[in-house]
């Protein structure tokens, strides 16, 4: 799924991720994470850069499999951005997956 972080749907799941603060664990591969869902199960989330530099994200929760943005994807993207900014994954993360460039609602920006 192409990630449009400024879409209304992604802003909604980003708010949920910020409010619920799910546990995010690093995966072993670059751009991979595990995010705990509301049931306690962990969902694998992976990011890659597609054609034209588009950021692509995949989660295996039921909503994402049906084509919806999910808060697991948003939580992993927030964690990814924080790790990159802190230099914690600089050797493991591809440079194309840079921190978030947010231009969405001011309400969400203030929560980040």
Question: Phi, psi at residue 34, to the nearest 5°?
Answer: -125, 130
Looking at residue 3, its pLDDT comes to: 74
Looking at residue 85, its pLDDT comes to: 75
How far apart CA 81 and CA 65 sit, in angstroms, is 23
How far apart CA 75 and CA 109 sit, in angstroms, is 14
CA 58 remoteness from chain centre: 9
Per-residue tens of pLDDT for the chain, all 112 residues: 677 766 888 889 999 999 999 999 988 887 789 999 999 999 999 888 878 877 788 899 998 889 888 999 999 988 888 877 777 654 444 444 444 444 445 554 444 4
Domains in the chain: boundaries:
8-105
How far apart CA 99 and CA 102 sit, in angstroms, is 9
Q: Check residue 105 and give left, alpha or beta (phi > 0: left; psi -120 to 50: alpha).
A: beta
Prediction pTM value: 0.74
Which 3 state secondary structure label does DSSP give 94? coil
Looking at residue 97, its pLDDT comes to: 47
Question: Phi, psi at residue 53, to the nearest 5°?
Answer: 80, 10
């Amino acid at each position: 799924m192409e990630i449009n972080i400024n879409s209304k749907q992604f802003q909604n799941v980003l708010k949920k991720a910020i409010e619920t603060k799910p546990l995010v664990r690093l995966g072993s591969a670059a751009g991979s994470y595990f995010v705990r869902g509301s049931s306690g199960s962990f969902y694998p989330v992976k990011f890659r850069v597609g054609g034209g530099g588009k950021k692509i994200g995949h989660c295996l929760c039921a909503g994402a499999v049906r084509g919806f943005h999910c808060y697991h994807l948003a939580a992993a993207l927030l964690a990814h951005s924080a790790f990159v900014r802190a230099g914690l994954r600089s050797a493991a993360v591809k440079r194309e997956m840079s921190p978030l460039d947010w231009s969405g609602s001011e309400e969400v920006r203030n929560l980040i």
